[in-house]
Amino acid sequence: MHTRVVRALGVLIFAVAPVSAQSLMYRPPNLGGTWVPDGGVVQFNFVHRFSVSPGPVHEVINYPTFTVAAGLGRALAVGWHFGTNSLVGPGQPDNNESEWSVRWRALGAEGAPGLAVAVTPAYNALAQSGDAEVGVDYTRGPVTLSGAARAMSHPYRATKARAALAGGVVARLSDYIAVSADVGSLVGPTTRAAWSAALDFVIPGSPHTFSLQVSNATTSTIEGNSRGFAKKLYGFEFTIPLHLSRFSPWFHRPTAPALAAGGPAAAAVEIHGFRFRTDTVTVAVGEAVRWTNADPLEHSVTFDDGPDSGRLAQRATFVRRFDRAGTYTYHCTPHPYMKGVVVVR
């Protein structure tokens, strides 16, 4: 059974084309962060952790968690976590754990400069508990600080409600490599804290990010990330997206009004080397910004307030005029770790 699942996942990984996805460059392993998939994007994350028993057997015990989340709009998503060998329920660690959730991003955007806040109510079927998490991120330059406040009505099948707190940090060493760590624990009577550390990678030319992890948390759910396990676990996480617009025009984002390619622009941003080479530009109200794709692969300029340039082939340009003051954050749909900001004054 496990062999069939692994083979099926392998087929899915290599069959999905580059599309919008969550980036592990902005989230520690045991925190949900504030990410919400773009509307019409189904996000699949696979976390696999394992421990090795002492000799002479050296048995490998697996603790996988599957995450599926669908974006319903600019700031709303529904999701499902499924973990095996869970310690959340009663008995031995061979339970299957399901957590159903809804996430609303109330403020900001993941990876954008400044503060972002998301609220995630959930139901854990194994624990039979109504859970919730408020996630907070603060990004400045190459560093993102993350925090979470959690509440559980019947954690681990207990009759008494509990709360938990967690915090973490991500430091991006380059456009393609980051390090991250976090710690979280139940509030109240002494409980083993859950912790993790990771080395995160961007896979160039794709929407995928990959993370090598060490942790003592077994399943990536609200309850699973709030209490530590007695053993140290090793593993990885891999993010896989599926963009529904490839199957139906219903899921296409609106295209921003654009000027002619040769129209006047107060600032220019070159897309090259899987980066917006000028990640922050400042213009006055009524002025425009031009983006030019210098890479051989397609990119996009997808604004978090809704408009989208669509796919830009090599040497294609896109221009948007800004008629109101504010801060406009955007990313590349095929490569979501590429982010930029337009400040309009």
Quick one: 53 and 186 in the same domain? Answer: yes
SS3 of 116-164: EEEEEEEEECCCCEEEEEEEEEEEECCEEEEEEEEEECCHHHCCCCEEE
Residue with tokens 């039979």: 128
Nearest to 309 by CA among 282, 285, 328: 328
In tens, the pLDDT along 212-254 reads 999 999 999 999 999 998 889 999 999 887 766 656 555 555 5
**pLDDT lower than 70: segments of the chain:** 1-22, 90-94, 243-263
d(CA 211, CA 158): 33
d(CA 35, CA 111): 9
Domain boundary among 205, 224, 246: 246
List CB contacts of 42: < 8 A, sequence separation 6 or more.
68, 69, 70, 71, 241, 242, 244
Quick one: 319 and 259 in the same domain? Answer: yes
**CATH code of the domain containing 307:** 2.60.40.420
Compute CA 284 distance to the chain's CA centroid, rounded to the nearest angstrom.
Answer: 32
Quick one: 193 and 278 in the same domain? Answer: no
Quick one: 259 and 242 in the same domain? Answer: no
Quick one: 230 and 257 in the same domain? Answer: no
Quick one: 183 and 329 in the same domain? Answer: no
Quick one: 211 and 279 in the same domain? Answer: no
Question: Which structure tokens are listed for 22?
Answer: 């969550």
pLDDT of residue 203: 84
96: helix, strand or coil: strand
Question: Which structure tokens are listed for 339?
Answer: 């982010």
Q: Are strands 267-271 and 326-331 parallel, antiparallel or unpaired?
A: unpaired
Domain boundary among 246, 271, 291: 246
Q: Are 101 and 134 in contact (CB under 8 A)?
A: no
Q: Are 34 and 251 in contact (CB under 8 A)?
A: no
Q: Is residue 279 part of a domain?
A: yes
Quick one: 224 and 339 in the same domain? Answer: no
Q: Is residue 9 part of a domain?
A: no
- For residues 44, 47, 48, 51, the Cα torsion angle rounded to the nearest 10 degrees is -160
pTM value is 0.73
What angle is formed at CA 177 by the lines to CA 147 and CA 167, rounded to 5 degrees? Answer: 10
d(CA 24, CA 13): 16
Domain range for 239 is 16-246
Q: Are 81 and 220 in contact (CB under 8 A)?
A: yes
Quick one: 274 and 339 in the same domain? Answer: yes
d(CA 241, CA 221): 20
Compute CA 167 distance to the chain's CA centroid, rounded to the nearest angstrom.
Answer: 16
**CATH code of the domain containing 91:** 2.40.160.40
Quick one: 206 and 319 in the same domain? Answer: no
pLDDT of residue 97: 93
d(CA 344, CA 281): 9
**Based on the structure, what is the number of domains in the chain?**
2
List CB contacts of 20: < 8 A, sequence separation 6 or more.
37, 38, 41, 207, 241, 243, 302, 333, 334, 336
Q: Is residue 8 part of a domain?
A: no
Tell me the one-letter amino acid at 3. Answer: T
d(CA 269, CA 7): 42
Compute CA 182 distance to the chain's CA centroid, rounded to the nearest angstrom.
Answer: 15
